[in-house]
Homo-oligomer: A and B are copies of this chain.
Amino acid sequence: MKRPTMKDVAQAAGVSLMTVSRVIAGEAGVSPDTAARVEQAVRKLGYQRNDNARNLRQKRLGTSTVGLVVDDLANPFYALMVRSIEDEAHRRGYVVLVGSTNDEPRREREVIAAFTARQVDGLIIVPTIGGHQFLKPPMEAGTQVVCVDRPARDLDVDTVTVDNRDGARGAVTHLLDHGHTRIAYLGDRYEIWTQSERYAGYLDALTAHGLAVDPDLVRHGLRSHGDAQGALAALRALPDPPTALFSSNDVITLGVLDGLEHPTPISIVGFDDLPLAKQLDPPLTVVSQDPVAVGSTAANLLFSRIDGDRSAPRKVVLLTRFIARRSGARPVQRVSD
């Protein structure tokens, strides 16, 4: 009923506990037939080493566990990232603890505290807006940290991001190049780093074309599908509605698309690619990021830190890819009438 220990195995094999330890650890210096007897006892008892106990004693190696903390595990972008990080971890014999923060600093702290209490060797986090000073003690104690998707303002650690600003600028420029001048911006909370960057890119593009921003066309703080639909409806009800819009993330794009009749009466470019984007009418033009590359880059950074790299923190910025399909290239037309 209880979990067998090395002591039990030792007894069953008629050897000392230390001999069992050596066999289990695969160390040399055990005669082949004692080893065989031990292995037999192991099988008979269904023994498996308690790695927590092992790690307690053997501090040279870590726990071979890393923590991964993201906004929302269900978000396709993060899901892909998680998978690529888990692949890298598995390849190296590590396991990964995951947690969602929901963008709440409080939950982020709880999750990270639970992870560090379990002695993770490293942490890959998508930092919330909150502070991260609580990470100082574990970091001084040797826990490695890398940020992904966005930087933590009060943490100078390896960080992997995407050039959001450049990507957004490209998207909006595309719209401008197609003759649009009234281009709406629909984004999530401005406080989120990726969103303020993308908004900056929107501004960049307008400015480069000598256009001023019309505050009426800018909608921040869209947290959900429904929020996006609402914002779209309000935009279309404007006396001088936009002829095009830039959607700053996938859930907003989905909301917008859901609120529109077909064929789409307004030009759209979205940040983040979507599975069926190509099959839409018109096919959706997007700025796409590569979550797998982001994840594996972050994982490689983390593991090289865990392996002892103590060089200055690296800031890796990956580029986005602009995929021109057709939704941004439609002729200018008025939304209403």
Contacts and interface: CB of A to CB of B under 8 A. Distances in A.
Interface stretch (A72-80, A153-161, A211-219, A305-313): A72-80
A278 interface: yes
Contacts of A76: 76, 79
Interface in A15-57: 45-53, 55-56
Contacts of A73: 79, 82-83, 86
A61 interface: no
Contacts of A7: none
Given A79-B76, A83-B100, A100-B87, A117 B276 contact: no
Nearest to A262: B281
B276 A113 contact: no
B83 A95 contact: no
Interface stretch (A137-145, A188-196, A315-323): A137-145
Contact of A74 (B49, B80, B111): B80
Given A46-B137, A90-B107, A281-B281, A96 B95 contact: no
A301 B57 CA distance: 35
A331 to B, nearest CB: 20
Interface string A97-135: 111100000010011011111110000000000000000
Interface residues of A, number: 66
A254 interface: yes
A123 to B, nearest CB: 13
Which of A63, A98, A116, A277 has the largest number of chain B CB atoms within 10 A?
A98
A225 to B, nearest CB: 10
B262 A276 contact: no
Contact of A254 (B87, B140, B275): B275
Nearest to A55: B52
A60 interface: no
Given A46-B136, A83-B100, A86-B73, A276 B274 contact: yes
22 contacts: A1-B141, A4-B141, A46-B136, A46-B138, A48-B113, A49-B117, A52-B56, A64-B114, A65-B97, A73-B79, A73-B82, A73-B86, A74-B80, A74-B82, A74-B84, A254-B276, A275-B275, A276-B277, A276-B280, A279-B280, A280-B280, A281-B281
The 9 residue pairs across chains A and B that have the minimum distance between CB atoms? A46-B137, A79-B79, A74-B83, A3-B141, A276-B276, A51-B117, A73-B83, A52-B52, A74-B80
